[in-house]
Amino acid sequence: MTRILFVCLGNICRSPMAEYVMRDLARRAGLEDQIQVASAATSREELGNPVYPPARRKLAEHGIACEGHAARQMTAADYDRFDLLIGMDQNNLRNMNRICGGDPQHKLRMLMDYTDRPGEVADPWYTGDFERTWQDVLAGCQGLLEQLESRD
């Protein structure tokens, strides 16, 4: 079992999109019993809130449901609970390191590092471009799944 935590600032746009996309990809690949996925925030700003409506609509366009999501903040205990903790941008990664007290087991990663265009996942909160975020998240999750499958 590989346990993955996707992390962004508020846990209402990018990280839940990655969580639900990865769940869908794992299900389609017949790996839902081998991959456990969750998401969290580095901040407390959106605690308890559902997926942001435009992000929810973008997922729905692709047949992916996200009902029942409630934003939560990442904790230091998540470092031990998850095999990979994947941030969406450099600020997330910096805050994840702070929350976890470092990364001695090299579990903290960036989602776009699993693509051929490393960098940051576009933040739709500021750009309003949920399609670009969808493309980034999908590419990152597909690359991550390929890497996980190649390890087996």
Active site residue 8: yes
How buried is 59 (Cβ within 10 angstroms: 0-12 exposed, 13-18 middle, 19+ buried)?
buried
43: Cβ–Cβ under 8 A, 6 or more apart, which residues? 9, 10, 73, 95
Question: Which residue in 8, 13, 66, 141 is the catalytic one?
Answer: 8
Question: Total domain count for the chain?
Answer: 1
Q: Do the beta carbons of residue 65 and residue 20 sit within 8 Å?
A: yes
Q: Are 64 and 134 in contact (CB under 8 A)?
A: no
Catalytic position from the list 14, 23, 56, 109: 14
DSSP, collapsed to helix, strand or coil, labels residue 4 as: strand
Specify the pTM: 0.97
Active-site annotation holder among 24, 78, 89, 123? 123
Segment 56-102, tens digit of pLDDT: 999 999 999 999 999 999 999 999 999 999 999 999 999 999 999 99
Active-site annotation holds for 152: no
Q: Is 123 assigned a catalytic role?
A: yes
CATH number at residue 18: 3.40.50.2300
Percent of the chain with pLDDT over 90: 96
- What domain range includes position 35? 2-151
Residue 152 pLDDT grade (very low, low, confident, very high; cuts 50, 70, 90): low
Helix (H) or strand (E) holding 66: none
